[in-house]
Amino acid sequence: MAKTRITLDDIYRHTQVREISLSRDGSRAAFILDAPRRLDDDHIRNLYLLNLGGPGEPHRLTRGAFRDAQPRFSSDGRYLAFLSNRPDEWEVASITPVSGTGEADKPAADEKEEPKAQVWVLDLRDGGEPRQLSRRPEGVESFSWSPDGTRIVIESRDPSDEQQAYLKSLRDKKKPGPFVLTRVQHKADGAGFLDDVPHHLFAVNVVDRSETRLTAGKASETAPVWSPGGDAILFSSNRTGDPDQNGRTDLWLVHPDTRAVRRLTRGDVNAAGAVFSPDGSQVAFMAGREPENSYVVQHVMAMDVADALLVDDFESAIGQGWTEIGGVVPDDPGLDPIQNARVYPIAADRTPARILTEGMRGPAVQLTWPEPERLIAMAGHEGQWRLCAVNPDGRWILEEPATRLYSVSGFDAAGGRVVAVMDSPQSGQEIYRIDHANPAVRISQLEKAWLTDRNLADVRVIRYLDHDGVDVEALVTLPPEFRPGEDPPAPLLVMIHGGPMSFDAPGFDFDAQYFAGLGYVILQVNYRGSISYGEDFCRSIQGRWGPMEHDDVMCGVDEVIKLGWADPDRLYCTGFSQGGIMTNWAVGHTDRFRAAVSEHGMWNYEAAFGSDDCHSWWQDDLGVPWQNKDLYRQISPMSGVDQIRTPVLITAGEIDWRCPLDQAEQLYVALKKRGVETALVVYPGEHHAITRPTRAIDRLTRLRDWLHSHGGLDDAAAAATAPSAKDAGPA
């Protein structure tokens, strides 16, 4: 049967692995598979089990319209715990027990809320339905098994009586109360307006499900990890008293029986992803040298548990360990308004930690410590996510993937084995087994069934110099069956990545494959500011967004034209988030594009301060706008408004609080007032990301039609080549 190109209907076939976890002996892997559903226009996340000892397809463990997450094996491998928002076993989900009774006031059916995530556990030996372990009214955020499998520690929001009454008023569907906001970080995209309810830790008995409080107070404790010996629980907490205005998340230890607390890090780092060494004597974590600076490399660090300091009164230990907390910007900017606004805590001591990945080009974003002399991290390097083996003495080496056109998207390690999710343009996400130093072996076929029948585009990596002589890398996706050097140049679609501290890694990119299938050459530039190319490359744009990234993109355009792949008279541009920002910048600084699509971007940085959820980022990069108004305007895309002639389609989410709707509206009205062809598409109820499959299809359809209306390619063959709807993705 002849292969067909990617069509929009294939969105319902495309699945993604979200998380993967290994049993301690390395014999089995559990993972979460994200699958779209056509009839309900949503995504479900269910749990699968894969035997790593031999051939065989993954076994589906859970079904239904739930969002399962965080699969974790007990130490003996018999039990598999996970988070899920499935209905409560006691049918009292999200209800606060009446004080002293253990019972609950049951609401009317129309007042019930969607169940919150709780911990559930499957018996992998005897089978049966999952059993609910936790019943926290506000749900569970994260959890960890005790090494003997008798308890779990959970992280949960823990409102006081007053806070509970406030939450109840907000959730009254007939007469909701007002939001009362007191935090600086008063909103977050996808979460909405934020309250001050703290997260605390609780130990839950696996047999009788009884609960013991471990922490309390006004600050939050998060991300618990039980020690290998069972005598301590590692957790994270920012106890500056002003966590919204700094990045000082420290590591702490609590004894699960006595509640005694010890402090590991000293307030000079922003620690994340902490893990114990196998013998429990050390802790490794990820952090950068400058806690509030997102442009610096996030390294793997380690310290001895013996260096932890006993805390006398942990609940009241807020603001201790710093000579200054900072937070309030002085009114007098002096000579440097940016430095004036960097009012961060000053630690009284230094964390006795060792940097284990000195010289690493990109950030570590995931970490395990499966063997005494070997940590494994997932790290960005030269436009790829790769596994990195790290020795506790500070030696490290990059490992899988061995080829350039693959990238790791998740992993776990145990029992002398690594299991990794690797992505490639031709195969999509698949699971690989890596035994010791042996090459990776593919052990799943999650995407093969439908990708085998598709005529996929070829992806290549190019390098070139920008006008400053900087070496820049980009991915180029060529149309299926395009013959470089023989076929005439094709229309070029530049797709600019978000971030900017991100990068385009090789993998199955649905959008790029779809537009390449129409006949476009796709250019994705890892411009200056992209991570994984060294700290200097990333930091070069700090406080100077716009010109350098734009130059890197346009030099990439010139390069693919010089190669004979792209038609210089048919150039188009699009981008999402930071890519939308750079699209807005591009049309104000060049007239080479026939048309552009700006998706969920920004236009006026001064107006964004306080209305988006990134005030701390703006403050660290540019200072505050009332002290540095000229720079805010100078680097905003709106600075080029009077030069825009390119037709621009603008898209936005109605409740996007990362790049708020009013940014798109300002751009739209400005173009209308100047007579530039434009249209604004607002997706109701959507945040920064598009979540529903029908919206994803609508988005790509509008983008395609906008480009086609300005000389681009159409989708006339879609109806003739699209597969039937009956073989759509999981129900």
CA distance 106 to 89: 14
The pLDDT value given to residue 341:
96
Answer yes or no: pTM beyond 0.75. yes
Ramachandran angles phi, psi of 143, nearest 5°: -160, 170
pLDDT single digits (tens) 566-611: 999 999 999 999 999 999 999 999 999 999 999 999 999 999 999 9
Would 439 be classed as within a structural domain? no
Residue type, 247: G
Three-state DSSP state, 694: helix
For the chain, the domain total comes to 1
SS3 for 434-487 is: EECCCCCEECCCCCHHHHCCECCCEEEEEEEECCCCCEEEEEEEECCCCCCCCC
Would 512 be classed as within a structural domain? yes
Domain that holds residue 486: 454-726
The pLDDT value given to residue 100:
40
Would 57 be classed as within a structural domain? no
Partners of 262 in the beta sheet?
Answer: 253, 310
Q: Which of 600, 605, 669 is nearest to 638 (CA)?
A: 605
Angle 693-708/510-518 helices, nearest 10 degrees? 40
| Residue written as token pair 């790829």 | 384
Q: What is the DSSP letter of 160?
A: -
Is residue 154 within 8 Å of residue 140, measured between CB atoms? yes
Please give the structure tokens belonging to residue 722: 């699209």
The pLDDT value given to residue 90:
72
Three-state DSSP state, 582: helix
Q: Going by DSSP bridges, is the β-strand pair 69-73/490-496 parallel, antiparallel, or unpaired?
A: unpaired
Would 69 be classed as within a structural domain? no
The pLDDT value given to residue 114:
87
Would 213 be classed as within a structural domain? no
CATH code at position 563: 3.40.50.1820
First to last CA, the chain: 26
Three-state DSSP state, 411: strand
Rg of the chain over Cα atoms, rounded to whole angstroms, equals 26
- Chunked into runs of 10 residues, the chain (731 residues) has average pLDDT values of 92 96 96 96 96 83 95 97 93 44 46 87 95 97 98 98 96 95 96 97 97 97 98 98 97 97 98 98 98 96 98 96 96 90 97 97 97 97 97 95 95 96 96 88 93 96 98 98 94 97 97 98 98 97 96 98 98 98 98 98 97 96 96 97 98 96 98 98 94 96 98 67 37 35
CA distance 134 to 154: 8
CA atoms 60, 445, 420, 360: torsion sign: negative
| Residue written as token pair 């998706």 | 599
CA distance 362 to 499: 14
Q: Give the H or E element holding residue 165.
A: helix 161-170
Would 127 be classed as within a structural domain? no
The pLDDT value given to residue 375:
98
Please give the structure tokens belonging to residue 528: 């200056």
Region of 668 (left: φ > 0; alpha: ψ -120 to 50; beta: rest) is alpha
Q: Give the H or E element holding residue 630.
A: helix 629-635
Would 674 be classed as within a structural domain? yes
Q: How far apart, in Å, are the Cα atoms of 438 and each of 370, 402, 413, 416?
A: 17, 11, 14, 11
